Amino acid sequence: MAVAGGTKCIKYLLFFFNFLFWICGLALIILGIVVQVATHNTPMIEKASGSAAPIVLIVVGVIIFFIAFFGCCGAWKENYWMVATFAVLLSLIIIIEIGAAIAGYVFRGKLGEIVDTGLKDMIARYNSSSVDFRKTMDKMQETLKCCGANSSADWANYDKDHTSVPDSCCKTVTTGCGKAAMHDPSKVYQTGCLHAVEDLLKKNVQLVIVAALVIAFLQITGIVFACLLMRGIRSGYEVM
């Protein structure tokens, strides 16, 4: 039977949107990995519940990656049940993404408290921890050009003289440069790492939120096209 132009257009639009979904799934996987690595490299939030958001995005990205192929086949072959299954699965994915966005937003509001507590805990455990743990703390202070949680004074118990800081606090890192230099602004950074770490993590969490919402919007459009195509197929059109 002759095909209605609108139904044929919907078929190709759905196929095109599934290609976009495939790209979006790949983007989510990459973004989730990048954010997860950044979160994992920040020990004070490794166990925070909000760090699950990038993991959710990676899982969702993998699922979308495969669902996109399923949707393409359903649209191209004009198979009603394949298109219907595609629409249902995509609806479930949207719900998961919205949940990830909400979790990311809630986590974003608690970052200050989590980072402050985590940094102080890291400072307290610095001398008794493993070499890798200390290297992580040192790398963070060197990279962000900061010292302590709120200020260099947070390292008061680092040494018996109560005026020394780790060498990673120094503006020019050399062996022993932090000895008795806690309050020397010419040698040691006086600003704590709290705000620097918080700002860095907020940017990562914001990327997760924006990506989830934008892709969810595109997916809703895809579901609308899927429903229209289903109606066309059910009405007896043979889409070419």
Q: Bigger pLDDT: 236 or 173?
A: 173
Distance CA 223, CA 91 (A): 7
Segment 36-82, tens digit of pLDDT: 676 565 555 554 444 556 677 778 778 877 788 777 777 777 777 88
Distance CA 108, CA 207 (A): 11
Q: Please give the full DSSP string across 136-183, using - where no structure is assigned.
A: HHHHHHHHHT--SSSBGGGGTTSSTTS----GGGBSS--TTTTTT-TT
* Average confidence score pLDDT of the chain: 78
Alpha helix (H) residue ranges in 2-130 = 5-40, 52-77, 80-109, 111-125
Instruction: State the CB neighbour count (10 A cutoff) for residue 99.
Output: 14
Q: Bigger pLDDT: 155 or 32?
A: 155
Q: Fill in the DSSP letter of residue 45.
A: G
Q: Which of 162-166, 191-195, 229-233 has the lowest mean pLDDT?
A: 229-233
Residue 220 clears pLDDT 80, i.e. is over it:
yes
Distance CA 112, CA 155 (A): 20
- The predicted structure's pLDDT at residue 238: 47
Query: Mean pLDDT over residues 122-145, rounded?
Result: 88
Distance CA 183, CA 136 (A): 23
Distance CA 80, CA 66 (A): 19
**Could you tell me the fold of the domain covering 113-194?**
Cd81 Antigen, Extracellular Domain; Chain: A (1.10.1450)
**Domain ranges (residues) in the chain:** 5-111+202-234, 113-194
Residue with tokens 């049940």, as numbered in its chain: 81
- The predicted structure's pLDDT at residue 108: 66
CB burial readout 183-193, b (16+ within 10 A) else e:
ebeebbbebbb
- The predicted structure's pLDDT at residue 169: 94
Q: Bigger pLDDT: 123 or 217?
A: 123
Query: Mean pLDDT over residues 21-41, rounded?
Result: 73
Q: Bigger pLDDT: 92 or 213?
A: 92
Query: Mean pLDDT over residues 96-100, rounded?
Result: 74
**Token pair belonging to 43:** 């020990």
Residue 187 clears pLDDT 80, i.e. is over it:
yes
Contacts of 138 (CB under 8 A, 6+ apart): 166, 167, 168
Q: How far is CA 119 from CA 35, 192, 228, in A?
A: 19, 10, 53
Q: Bigger pLDDT: 4 or 81?
A: 81
Using a pLDDT cut of 90, give the percent of the chain over it: 15
- The predicted structure's pLDDT at residue 104: 67
The pLDDT-based confidence of 23 (bands split at 50, 70, 90) is confident
Grouping H, G, I as helix, E, B as strand and the rest as coil, residue 192 is: coil
Instruction: State the CB neighbour count (10 A cutoff) for residue 206.
Output: 13
Highest-scoring range by mean pLDDT, 92-106, 146-160, 188-202, 216-230: 146-160
Distance CA 78, CA 75 (A): 5
